[in-house]
Amino acid sequence: MNLLAIYHRATDNFCYCLDEDNIVISIKTGYDINKVTLYYCDPFEKGIMGGNHCIVGTPIEMTEVKKLKNHLHWSVKIKPKYKRLVYYFSFENDTEKYYMYEDRFLTPKEFKNFNQRQQLFTFPFMNPVDIFKTPDWVNDTVWYQIFVDRFCNGNPELNPKDVKPWSSPNEKVASKDFYGGDIPGITSKIEYLKDLGITGLYLTPIFEAASNHKYNTTDYSKIDSCFGTDEDMIALVNKAHKNGIKVMLDGVFNHSGEFFKPWQDVLKNGPSSEYYDWFMINEWPFIERGKNAHSGIYYAFAFFDSMPKLNTNNPKVREYIVNILKSWVGKYDIDGLRMDVAGEISHKLCKEIRSALKELKPDFYILGELWHDSTPWLRGDEYDSVMNYMFSDCLSDFWINDEITSLDFEHKINRCYTMYPLQVNKVLFNLLDSHDTIRLATKLNDMAKFYQQLSVLFTMPGTVCIYYGTEVALEGSYDPDCRRCMPWREIFNGVYNDKISIIKQLITLRKTYQALRSNDYEFNNANTNSRIINYIKKDDNDNKIMVTLNVSDKDFDINSILIESKSITVKDILFSNLYENNILKPNGTLIYTFE
């Protein structure tokens, strides 16, 4: 037995409170183990705490198993009667058995004869105030990300200087172009978005900045005059709420823009400025523009001198940011916050933001822009969730590289959903493209594959976000080309009716079937064709829906799918593309109930 492959810790995603009654415990092992049993009991039961040899405890077999590339991930949910817990494990294969305490492995003989104090894994107490709670409504939400300048020009009087005529969907855009999209324009399209099935809006930054993207803020308290006014924003949120749509704003607090007044004061007064320690400055005076960040004179976003990094270690900066955010919630009644460059600001600020905003609005959603393992930010006192770029990477890898198998895909997806607690998985922000990436339609250049990936997006755990224009398969390469203008003329002339209808189907499916939103999924990859993705989703009542994708160049017979050595029969087709008479054609998609 490979004991080196076994890993557990009594924290984070390996041991946590799911709610006030249940604890989830997980452990990783190698593939050489075929049975894991958890033994648990109260630490004071029969004098265990401080005693010599523990009673056996309550055994429970860990039957929830996910396959990772090099490990098996085992999980179980238990209810400690007295809200506290000590536990240990046993592992078995065909020839061996071991026990695992916190500090050692034991053979059955060693376990039987052990007479010292047991160093057991411990969960001291399930304090309700410490339980990681995420907003329930987020799992049910279908988000729509809007890059404001390119969505809709609702009030031409707000147009910036040198605004360009609204471009066609095939026309590329440049990084410094302005097209006049604004907040009244978004408000005017609420009915369209509601009809599409959207229940959440995520807006890129709306506050004063010199750019079209507004990620270089000049004034965090003033909506950019090109986008509208406070009254416009209040009207948008009110109308969205009346139509069942939540609103999330983008907060850029890792860095400011160069025209932010405190930074301008620093440029003028240097170390004498009262704002000098609002930024992360290492040397004075500054050198030639464009070379300071690269030279380490001061820190910035990436190496852009024009985006100096805010010093979120400074209590005055944290107080300023928290007060700004409280004013956004109070003034506009927004429902969520997406934090830009979320991993670089101080953990101290993250904690203060959560405390302040959850006090104002307990079900407020706080989302961090992180592109990697985000465990340090997802312990219940900072973000609710992160942008799940690892999820989109899983799909990209599989569809781009035809040497990757469905088992590889299963391993990658399982990694995404075993990294964090289940309450985080429910609200993970799943997306396939954004203002920072190449558009999905351009990346795949194949509509059948486009709908395959969207089908995975709409049937996996988490919350779903589509980028504006996805419903019409809007094209666009890397930034800035991924920020093309929304083709309203073509939409209302019916050019995209068929494409919009397909997105509506997928949105309706996700909203109708709780199984498609649930954390409960199971891959079934026992197929001769290694490019068939096949998984089952279950709801709380054990109703099941199958998702089958043929990502190969050969026809696939649905009847060849086996469950417990028995073939299945398609019962009700919920969504299909390139499917007929039990044959799923290359790049085909089928979502269905089965017998």
Q: What is the pLDDT of residues 49-64, one digit of tens each?
A: 544 445 568 999 999 9
Choose, from 369, 382, 384, 433, the residue flagged as catalytic: 369
**526 plus 474 within the same structural domain:** no
Domain end (from 96, 130, 164): 130
Average pLDDT of the chain, as a whole number: 96
Q: Classify residue 245 by burial, with Cβ atoms within 10 Å: 0-12, 13-18, 19+.
A: buried
Whether 471 maps to a domain, the answer reads yes
Confidence at residue 138, expressed as pLDDT on a 0 to 100 scale: 98
CA distances from 85 to 36, 80, 305, 377 (A): 18, 7, 52, 25
**344 plus 481 within the same structural domain:** yes
Q: What is the DSSP code string of 440-483?
A: HHHHH--HHHHHHHHHHHTTSSSEEEEETTGGGT----STTGGG
Confidence at residue 55, expressed as pLDDT on a 0 to 100 scale: 59
Whether 487 maps to a domain, the answer reads yes
**488 plus 420 within the same structural domain:** yes
Q: What is the pLDDT of residues 98-126, one digit of tens each?
A: 999 999 999 999 999 988 888 999 999 99
- Comparing 33-37, 261-265, 524-528, 569-573, the range with the smallest average pLDDT is 524-528
**276 plus 412 within the same structural domain:** no
- 369 catalytic, yes or no? yes
What residue ranges in 453-581 does DSSP mark as E strands?
A: 463-467, 521-523, 532-538, 544-550, 556-557, 562-563, 566-567, 570-580
Domain end (from 481, 512, 543): 512
Tell me the residue range of the domain where 449 lies: 140-253+315-512
pLDDT (mean) for 477-498: 97
Q: How many domains does the chain have?
A: 4
Confidence at residue 467, expressed as pLDDT on a 0 to 100 scale: 98
Q: What is the pLDDT of residues 298-313, one digit of tens each?
A: 999 999 999 999 999 9
Task: Tell me the whole-structure pTM to 2 decimals.
Answer: 0.96
Whether 489 maps to a domain, the answer reads yes
Confidence at residue 47, expressed as pLDDT on a 0 to 100 scale: 57
Q: What is the pLDDT of residues 319-349, one digit of tens each?
A: 999 999 999 999 999 999 999 999 999 999 9
Whether 135 maps to a domain, the answer reads no
**475 plus 577 within the same structural domain:** no
**296 plus 164 within the same structural domain:** no
CA distances from 409 to 163, 391, 528 (A): 45, 10, 16
Residue type, 507: I
529 band by pLDDT with thresholds 50, 70 and 90: confident
Backbone angle region of 578, left / alpha / beta, with phi > 0 → left and psi within -120 to 50 → alpha: left
Contacts of 390 (CB under 8 A, 6+ apart): 371, 372, 415, 416
pLDDT (mean) for 511-515: 98
Confidence at residue 132, expressed as pLDDT on a 0 to 100 scale: 98
Whether 147 maps to a domain, the answer reads yes
Task: Give the CATH number for residue 522.
Answer: 2.60.40.1180
Whether 194 maps to a domain, the answer reads yes
Dihedral (Cα; 353, 391, 142, 355), 10-degree rounding = -10
**Contact in structure between 426 and 138 (CB atoms under 8 Å):** yes
- Of 211, 209, 147, 143, which is closest to residue 182 (Cα–Cα)? 147
Round to whole Å and give the CA distance between 143 and 179.
Answer: 23
Task: Judge whether residue 565 has pLDDT over 90.
Answer: no
**Contact in structure between 92 and 33 (CB atoms under 8 Å):** yes
**539 plus 437 within the same structural domain:** no
Whether 297 maps to a domain, the answer reads yes
**35 plus 123 within the same structural domain:** yes
**77 plus 102 within the same structural domain:** yes
**264 plus 336 within the same structural domain:** no
Tally the residues of the chain. 595
Confidence at residue 52, expressed as pLDDT on a 0 to 100 scale: 43
Q: What is the pLDDT of residues 160-193, one digit of tens each?
A: 999 999 999 999 999 999 999 999 999 999 999 9
Q: Facing residues of 537 across strands? A: 521, 545
Choose, from 182, 340, 410, 471, the residue flagged as catalytic: 340
Domain end (from 264, 288, 311): 311
Query: b or e along 440-468 (b: 16 or more beta carbons within 10 Å of the residue's beta carbon)?
Result: bbbbbeeebbbbbbbbbbbbbbbbbbbbb
**498 plus 528 within the same structural domain:** no
Q: What is the pLDDT of residues 429-476, one digit of tens each?
A: 999 999 999 999 999 999 999 999 999 999 999 999 999 999 999 999
**76 plus 164 within the same structural domain:** no
Task: Give the CATH number for residue 481.
Answer: 3.20.20.80
